[in-house]
């Protein structure tokens, strides 16, 4: 089993739709979790950290399920500009960025 697994997609959704991605991780001792966004041929950028109690930033909601070892990202009211690859990132050592394990990403295409 890979350390961090994501459904590669692509997810094709119409504008305004709600879409959700999951990401599973294998190390139960993982400490912190993130979602990054990467546009085609560009650098990854932090979208949001994932907190134990779940957190929301505008149209984006992130949740953590430690028992089942997955994190999720929910995007409401999808915009064309949300089209990108979403990377799940797991840190096996809290606060230590050299322990980051990156998923391969889930591709999202929002269509007009």
Partner 1 sequence: NAGVTQTPKFQVLKTGQSMTLQCAQDMNHNSMYWYRQDPGMGLRLIYYSASEGTTDKGEVPNGYNVSRLNKREFSLRLESAAPSQTSVYFCASSEVGVYNSPLHFGNGTRLTVT
Binding site for partner 1 (CB under 8 A): 4, 32, 34, 41-46, 49, 87, 94-95, 97-98, 100, 102-105
Query: Would you say 5 or 13 has its CB closer to partner 1?
Result: 5
Q: Give CB contacts under 8 A, 24+ apart, made by 46-50.
A: 47/73, 47/86
Cβ proximity to partner 1: between 45 and 66 the closer is: 45
To which H or E segment does residue 25 belong? strand 19-25
Contact status, residue 54 vs residue 64, Cβ threshold 8 Å: yes
Q: Residue for token digits 């998923």?
A: 103
The minimum distance between CB 15 and partner 1, in angstroms, equals 28
What's the closest the beta carbon of residue 106 comes to partner 1, in angstroms?
A: 12
Count CB atoms within 10 A of the CB of residue 21: 21
Q: By C-beta, is 17 or 104 nearer to partner 1?
A: 104
Quick one: 8 or 16, whose CB is closer to partner 1?
8
Shortest spacing between CB 9 and partner 1, in angstroms: 14
Q: 102 near 89, Cβ under 8 Å? A: yes
CB of 61 to partner 1, least distance (A): 17
């Amino acid at each position: 089993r890979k350390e961090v697994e994501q459904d590669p997609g692509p997810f094709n959704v119409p504008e305004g739709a709600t879409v959700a991605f999951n990401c599973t991780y294998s190390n139960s001792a993982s400490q912190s979790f993130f979602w990054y966004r990467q546009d085609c041929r560009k650098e990854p950028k932090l979208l949001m950290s994932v907190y134990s109690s779940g957190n929301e930033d505008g149209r984006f909601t992130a949740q953590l399920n430690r028992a089942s070892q997955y994190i999720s990202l929910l995007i409401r009211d999808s915009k064309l500009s949300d089209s990108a690859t979403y990377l799940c990132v797991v840190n096996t050592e809290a606060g230590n960025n050299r322990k980051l394990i990156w998923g391969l990403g889930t591709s999202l295409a929002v269509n007009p």
